[in-house]
Amino acid sequence: MSGAAIVMMLVAMLAIWGALVVALLNLRRSDHSASE
């Protein structure tokens, strides 16, 4: 794989799977604030 391809693969993984993790954390946080 070329360097550019590796970088873009990591960018895509970080952006999309990272966003999923952030979305899950946000949902968990909103649970906590709702129950307070």
Partner 1 sequence: MSAVTEDSGKSTDGFASRKVFILAAIGSAVGLGNIWRFPYVAYEGGGGAFIIPYLVAIFVAGLPFLYLDYAMGHRYRGSAPLSFRRMSKGAEGIGWWQVLVCAVIGVYYAAIIAWAARYTIFSFGKSWGDDPEKFFGGDFLQAAADPGPTMDFVPGLLIPLIVVWVLVLGILALGVQEGIGRTAIILMPLLLVAFGALVIFALFLDGAPKGLDALFSPDWGALKNTDVWVAAFGQIFFSLSVGFGVMITYASYVNRKTDMTGSGAVVAFSNSGFELLAGIGVFSALGFMAQASGVAVDEVVASGIGLAFVAFPAIINEAPGGALIGVLFFGSLVVAGVTSLVSVIEVVIAGFQDKFNLSRRAATAMVGGPMAVVSVLLFSTTGALTVLDTVDKWINTFGILAVAVVSMLIVAHVAKKLPVLADSLNRVSSIRLGTVWRVVIGFVAPLALIYLLFTELKGLIEEPYGGYPQGLLITFGWAVVIVIPLLAFALASLPWRDKSMTDDVEDVTAEEEVR
Interface positions with partner 1 (CB under 8 A): 1-2, 4-9, 11-13, 15-17, 19-20, 23-24, 26-27, 29-31, 33-34
> Which of 1/36 has CB closer to partner 1?
1
Q: How far apart are CA 29 and CA 36, in angstroms?
A: 11
> Which of 4/36 has CB closer to partner 1?
4
Q: Smallest distance, Å, CB 36 to partner 1?
A: 13
Q: How far apart are CA 1 and CA 28, in angstroms?
A: 38
Q: How far apart are CA 10 and CA 4, in angstroms?
A: 10
